[in-house]
Amino acid sequence: MLYLVGLGLSYKSDITVRGLEAVRNCSRIYLEHYTSILMAASLEELEEYYGKPVILADRELVESGSEEILHDARTQDVAFLVVGDVFGATTHTDLVLRAKRESIPVEVIHNASVMNAVGSCGLQLYNFGQTVSMVFFTESWKPDSWYDKIWENRKIGLHTLVLLDIKVKEQSIENMARGRLIYEPPRYMSISQCCEQLLEIEDARGTIAYTPNTPAVAISRLGSSTQTFKAGTIEELSRYDAGEPLHSLIILGRQCHELELEYLLEFTDDKEGFKKAVIEDQEFFKPAPWVPPVEDED
């Protein structure tokens, strides 16, 4: 059996009871280690908690070396651990498909993830549209495919969850080109950097999917004891120090309910200013009134 087990957001004990029982019965345990990290638990702490060694699975192993993970999974129990929920990344769907092609039984044990825990900021999950990912820009590479998704969300009034890039066990272009297995130090995108990149692309595209005054919510260390929210405009948050990672951002949609707004006001120093930004944003992105088509008199 291949067990895919969600670990939750922060602590070693966030794993479900069923998940923990499955892990402790497995002969091999892999921890996916590139889409997110468990903020309040080290590898050594996890090994002590499970009573078994844990193998770190980087992107290369999961995407190119899945045969190692699936080896003997027909006759032995193997666990694949994912921070958050199992299907927070499409890579894990691919692993399930490969297991099924090899007739390996699969059991999925879910857990909390940023996709549902984000509701703790006060915004209603029903009011979220497409989730987007923001990657680190380079001098020569500034992908902006996420921009159109934000625009689509904004046109129908929905909030957008922006997941911020992390770089774990990544190679520089030079080392990759030279075939040197030298890895860069881990990097985690900050709220301020994300907002700066948002503003840079809006300035370049100019179709006003959002503005510097669009209201947003910064999320820091979701699910941990130091979890923090900060409400402000995108421009204000581009100057905000959100502290230690991990970070996420929400761009508010026009359909911000009054109860959502009331909740968010607890996370801003300038309540009147933020309320004004929300009202102005709602008015700016309000859809044009429907006009019935003119009937053909002929």
Instruction: Provide the annotated binding site.
Output: 9, 85, 88, 113-114, 164, 222, 247
Q: What tokens appear for 240 in the block?
A: 């905000």
Q: Assign residue 215 a region (left: φ > 0; alpha: ψ between -120 and 50; beta: otherwise).
A: beta
H or E element: which one contains 32? strand 28-32
Q: What are phi and psi of 216, to 5 degrees?
A: -150, 170
Residue 224 neighbours by CB under 8 Å, 6+ apart: 9, 10, 11, 39, 40
The amino acid sitting at 186 is P
Q: How many residues does the chain have?
A: 298
Cα gap 216→250, rounded to integer Å:
5
Q: Are 266 and 274 in contact (CB under 8 A)?
A: no
Cα gap 142→154, rounded to integer Å:
22
The DSSP bridge pattern shows strands 160-164 and 132-134 to be parallel
Cα gap 117→11, rounded to integer Å:
14
Q: Which residues are annotated as a binding site for S-adenosyl-L-methionine?
A: 9, 85, 88, 113-114, 164, 222, 247
CB count, 10 Å around CB of 96?
17
Planar angle of CA 143, 235, 185, nearest 5 degrees: 50
Residue recorded with tokens 């080109």: 177
Of 35, 72, 26, 71, the residue nearest 56 (C-alpha): 35
Partner residues linked to 160 by β-bridges: 251
